[in-house]
Structure 1
Amino acid sequence: MGGFFKKITYGLLKSVRAFDIYGKPITLHYRGEEKFKTYVGGSVTILVFLVLLSYASYLTAVMFQRQTVIYSSSCVVRDLNSDLSDNKPAEHGFAMAIGFRWNNISFLDEAFLRMYKVRAYQYSAILQTGGWNETEEELELVRCQDYFPYYNQTHLKRYRINNHVCIKVKDYSIAGNLYTDISKTLRIKISKCSSADRGDCYESKDIDEYIFYQYLEVVMINSYFDLHSFDDPIKTYLTQEYYYTYQAGYFTQTNFYLKENNMDALDDYTLVGGKKKRKFYTVAKEKTDKYAYTSGDYAQIEFHLDPETEVFKRNVFTFMDLLANIGGIFSLLSSLAMLIVGFYAEKMLRYSIMAKCYTFDKRELFQEQPCQDSEGSLEVPNTPVREQPSDAYGRNLLKEDLAEEEKENRKEESEDFEGGSKEGSKEEEKEHQISRNF
């Protein structure tokens, strides 16, 4: 029974030793193997692979769940003198609505048109050889019910934003500024109804009295980059700017500056889908001024291009990052294991070779061969420990050496015996001669 368990234990240890990848290279084959493998090296190898497997499993879960995201943003100020390209914010999710706050009257209602006139223009100023060429292209205004692309329609109805007016077209553009060769802005003007427009306008006093209690509201759809959203990373929200527009003898002008933003996202961990690129606009800043009331305008709203642009970058943990991390931790663990196991394997290789090549001759080590010295004392001869090879060939060689050595010893003993007998006879003759002389 003990032999059975011993055999199983030996088989398991042999299997563990087969895992050793840190074995010391040898010039000759050792037991049919090119490397000297040990149980310690096999155990360390198994431990290293278990650590790598655990780490790889963790990184794989992180990759599929997109838990590790590298995010960065940079703000760049571009030169509007050289970059005169058109920017169309309405095509990238931006929209605006204008109306009186908490008022059921729309700017397009007949009662309102008898008091005010609301118009939207695409203003352009282009520097030519003879001077500035300024044009104003009027844009159609409609109710915002179907032209205000905000996802929460319940919110729009609750705050009566659907009753405001919006620009119907989306191809209006903004570019440059007042000091560039090309300048394009979006203008919205609110003016008092005049007889030149229609003949049924209310009295000027009644119009001023009505607007005195109203808040002009500008509602805009702003966009932002949602870091944790991968299906729809560009989200929208409402920005509500409202202010009292009327002050006796003044009109209000408000300038909104739209900033262009660019999203550059690598959301595919397999690197097959490539990068996603999106553009969106946000209101960067706002400036309001009051001027003397001269032309009959109550308020004027302008949208300009902001020179600053922001770039958002997002990279998820990809399959290539997974391989790089696993390769790095494997190199580190392999180097440490190589130092530890390599030192141990070098010592064990020498020990194993010595143990396989040489053994002690215990028979001669513990065998006593007493002999008498000149003083009559007994001593154990200083018999050298013989080393014999463990293999069959070595044992045969050792037997031949022992036989020759024994033959030589017998020859020497016989010669010593003959020499001793001759010397003894000479001493007897000498003693006999001395006795005769006396």
Structure 2
Amino acid sequence: MPPGILTLADGLAEKATLSPANTGFMLICSALVMLMTPGLAFFYGGMVRVKSVLNMLMMSFISLGIVTLLWVLYGFGLAFGTDTGGIIGWSSDFAGLGHIGLTQLWGTTTIPVYVFAVFQLMFAVITPALISGALADRVKFTAWALFIALWVTVVYFPVAHWVWGDGGWLFKLGVIDFAGGTAVHINAGAAALGVILVVGKRIGFKKDPMRPHSLPLVMLGAGLLWFGWFGFNAGSWLNNDDGVAAVAFVNTQVATAAAMLGWLAYEKLRHGSFTTLGAASGAVAGLVAITPACGAVSPLGAIAIGVIAGVLCAMAVGLKYKFGYDDSLDVVGVHLVGGIVGSLLIGLFATGGVQSDAKGLFYGGGFGQLGKQTVGVVCVLLYSLVVSYVLAKAIDLVMGFRVGEDEEITGVDQAAHAETAYDFAGAGGGTTARRTTALGETPTKKVDA
């Protein structure tokens, strides 16, 4: 988010003129970010086995329901209300979003409060959905829904205030996070690791094949994420007046392309093949890494960030086998590591000529910005990791976080949703057909499907 414009001074009194162009731009960006959650559902859904597809889709979709209502009731107020000690915000006008004028502007921007609120809502929705990929195949749907409600309340809303809220302590420190490297990706990645430590490994982890059931679905999801991410990043400047949003848009495309190529190059050298899963994962790694940096670096810097993130994330996904934690769909390897890479590299590649005058080490800024970025990364990571572990442990003690062994083996789709993603009845077994002759119908005959 742009520094210096998220202000609640004078009780949100209008400080600028409503811009229909910027309002329309931000509504489109909000819709693009909303599309990312179904895109994520497809991306994750394709990566799991057939018996868990619907559950994986639902773990993302349920976030649209739960987080939306909590955001309206109190989430927006906690994240962007009047600051208290740099830790949390609150404004009674934001409770229920019922005391906001239709044309009341957000701080010194040219967009209404309602538009800013719905744009930020979409960030709040997708962040817990990101965590779900680490828990595929083995958690209770009710426990997951409860975790979402608790987690956004005590982790996401406060962290969003730290990073983007006027008066938030990381905001005041000068940590640059254009669109969510800390608040979204490190936050979700660290939370995923915390919950994994509670729920444990899938049955058959490192023994049974757990390959993606539909790589076309993975590619579709990655494509939707890439498309929606332009709203995620470019929209985070909250206007389209000065060219910063355009730079963020370009850097998003450039870094994503570079990360995809970097991942594929590593994959070819390490494993001997260019895979579609690698291309999709590399693209997402690039999107993650450029998210905090897209308003601070040049396109050349974006290329560097993309390549570095693509290679490091490709290396990181194998750590779960070395250290023995079962991150089902590599949320830690992609989102946590990618978020760390992108956030820290701002301290090297920030040009000082786009969103702010803060410069990185390679542009004569010394180690100052790198130090600030490191503080932001470490604090968000530790807070999310510890609190997420505690929340998951509490849920596990009260109601159990994990499904039973029989349900896990049979498939969470049947156990939790009483459905299956695909109907294989008759597949490979033939279909019944009738042949008609001049004399009439013959008895039925089995023919290949």
TM-score by length of 2: 0.23
More helix by share: 2
Highest CA radius of gyration, 1 or 2?
A: 1
TM-score (norm 1): 0.23
Q: Counting strand residues as a fraction of each chain, which structure ranks higher?
A: 1
